[in-house]
């Protein structure tokens, strides 16, 4: 290793006595103070990993991003972004505009607070894909809260929407609207006007709630899956899938019923206090089985053109009409249903051209095995 000759000569000139004196002076001097720049050592600690195995914060604060004419913050590159606090809306702008694929927004429980005249809160104005939004709150937002209709294969999870109003803008798409392949999971919509939650083709809505709003609850053009959701007290449709829907294990109370198109499966749903039809079938070859329906005007209605429907094992209580099949929907198969209606109920209206098991009148009968046809495995019952 090369050595500094000047340093060597200096030490030689000082000698041992001089070097020792310098060392004593150095120890007596106070340590130099770092230049003050407003950042404490604790500030530094707070920004680095808590363990030796970790790294510094890899996410990008949304609030550090630039804005635009139409948005408070613009995400223009793939990555993981997070909120550092609540965001209050600004008239004429979105809160966050996503202009890139593969973006994750982790809101960490912070809330978007509404203001008059805002645009959609989180939006993707161009065709993007794979945008994820997690753990966000929306309070009183005056437009669509999440509008990712243009973004395919996106995910919204563990978000809540409280007292928002998308009806302030005629072009708004409800409370939360995703495009093709969209998934809405474990989200809560409470007391929202224009409360509809929607997904596009191949979409999924699962384990969500929609309470005390108006304008409908859950919608997809299809095909789509809606499973284990709860809708209550809404003046619009409950669950609508226009084509090839799968609706399993949902709960509906005081909302419009389930409305599906061709090739749909409606199974194991619990539907109560529906103002019109609990289940409406609009297309061919649908399967409606093992649903429980209480206090609907009509239990199950099969409309013209909805040929070859299977209506199997449903229980309908307190309806004015039980199972009603249009005469222009032939070749339906109706078996193992039970209807307990109000006075004057038409339990089954099945036109010629459909197949069905024997209809057994068993009200106050005691041992129903004595009723003709009641012991048939495909019998339909009237209580």
The full DSSP string for 283-298 is SSS-EEES-EEES-SE
Do both 75 and 190 map to the same domain? yes
Q: Which pair of tokens denotes residue 118?
A: 């805002």
225-to-10, 59, 78, 240, 260 alpha-carbon distances in Å: 83, 32, 29, 11, 11
The answer on 225 and 103 residing in a single domain is yes
Same domain for 315 and 245: no
Report if residue 358 sits inside a domain: yes
Residue 15 falls inside a structural domain: no
Q: Are 299 and 278 in contact (CB under 8 A)?
A: yes
Pair 232, 301 in one domain:
no
- Rounded distance between C-alpha atoms, residue 147 and residue 82, angstroms: 18
Nearest one of 170, 119, 156 to 141, comparing CA atoms: 119
Q: How far apart are CA 211 and CA 192, in angstroms?
A: 8
Q: What is the pLDDT of residue 369?
A: 73
Residue 241 in domain: yes
Which residues of the chain are modeled with pLDDT < 50? 1-2, 8-12, 14, 22, 25
End-of-domain residue from the set 230, 256, 282: 256
Domain C-terminal end among 256, 273, 298:
256
Alpha helices in 38-102 (DSSP H): 41-46
- 122 plus 245 within the same structural domain: yes
- Of the candidates 246, 173, 249, the one whose C-alpha atom is nearest the C-alpha of residue 216 is 173
In a domain, 44, yes or no: no
Count up the domains in the chain and report the number. 2
Q: Indicate whether 133 and 237 sit together in one domain.
A: yes
What phi and psi, each to the nearest 5 degrees, are found at residue 213?
Answer: -120, -160
Residue 197 lies in a domain: yes
Residues 84 and 169 in one domain: yes
3-class secondary structure, 168: helix
Pair 160, 279 in one domain: no
Residue 41 lies in a domain: no
Q: Does residue 144 share a domain with residue 61?
A: yes
Quote the pTM value. Answer: 0.85
> What is residue 368's predicted lDDT score, i.e. its pLDDT?
73
- The answer to whether residue 86 is domain-embedded is yes
Q: Which range of residues forms the domain containing residue 342?
A: 259-383
Q: 227 and 334, same structural domain? A: no
230 in a structural domain:
yes
**Tokens at residue 164, please?**
């928002």
Q: Identify whether 223 is preceded by a cis peptide bond (ω within 30 of 0).
A: yes
- Do 264 and 373 reside in the same domain of the chain? yes
> Within this chain, do residues 165 and 294 fall inside the same structural domain, yes or no?
no
Cα Rg of the chain (Å, integer): 33
Give the pLDDT of residue 11: 45
Q: Which of 256, 276, 306 represents a domain boundary (last residue)?
A: 256
């Amino acid at each position: 290793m090369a050595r500094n000759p000047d340093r060597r000569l200096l030490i030689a000139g000082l000698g041992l006595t001089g070097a020792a004196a310098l060392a004593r002076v150095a120890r007596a001097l106070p340590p130099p103070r770092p230049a003050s720049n407003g950042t404490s050592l604790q500030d530094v600690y707070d920004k680095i990993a808590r363990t030796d195995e970790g790294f510094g914060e890899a996410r990008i604060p949304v609030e550090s991003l630039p804005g635009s004419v139409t948005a408070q913050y613009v995400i223009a590159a793939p990555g993981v972004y997070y909120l550092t606090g609540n965001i209050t809306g600004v008239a004429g702008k979105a809160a966050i505009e996503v202009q890139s694929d593969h973006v994750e927004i982790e809101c960490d429980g912070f809330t978007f607070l509404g203001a008059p005249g805002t645009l959609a809160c989180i939006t993707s104005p161009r065709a993007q894909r794979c945008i994820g939004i997690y753990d966000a709150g929306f309070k009183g937002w005056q437009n669509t809260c999440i509008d990712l209709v243009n973004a395919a294969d996106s995910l919204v999870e563990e978000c809540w929407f409280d007292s928002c109003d998308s009806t302030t803008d005629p072009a708004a798409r409800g409370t939360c609207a995703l495009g093709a392949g969209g998934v809405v999971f474990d989200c809560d919509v409470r007391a929202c006007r224009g409360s509809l939650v929607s997904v596009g083709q191949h979409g999924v809505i699962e384990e969500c709630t929609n309470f005390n709003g108006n304008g409908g609850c859950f919608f997809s053009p299809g095909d789509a899956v809606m499973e284990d959701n709860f809708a209550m007290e809404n003046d619009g449709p409950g669950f609508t899938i226009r084509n090839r829907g799968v609706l399993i294990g949902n709960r509906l109370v005081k909302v419009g019923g389930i409305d599906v198109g061709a090739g749909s499966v409606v199974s194991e749903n619990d539907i109560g206090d529906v103002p019109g039809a609990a289940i409406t079938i609009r297309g061919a070859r649908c399967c409606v089985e093992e649903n429980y329906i209480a206090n609907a005007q009509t239990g199950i209605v099969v409309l013209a053109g909805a040929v070859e429907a299977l209506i199997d094992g449903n229980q309908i209580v307190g309806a004015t009409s039980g199972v009603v099949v249009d005469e222009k929907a032939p070749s339906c198969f109706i078996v193992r249903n039970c209807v307990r209606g109000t006075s004057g109920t038409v339990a089954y209206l099945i036109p010629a051209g459909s197949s069905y098991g024997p209809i057994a009148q068993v009200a106050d009968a005691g041992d129903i095995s004595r009723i003709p046809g009641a012991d048939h495995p495909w019998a339909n019952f009237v209580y």
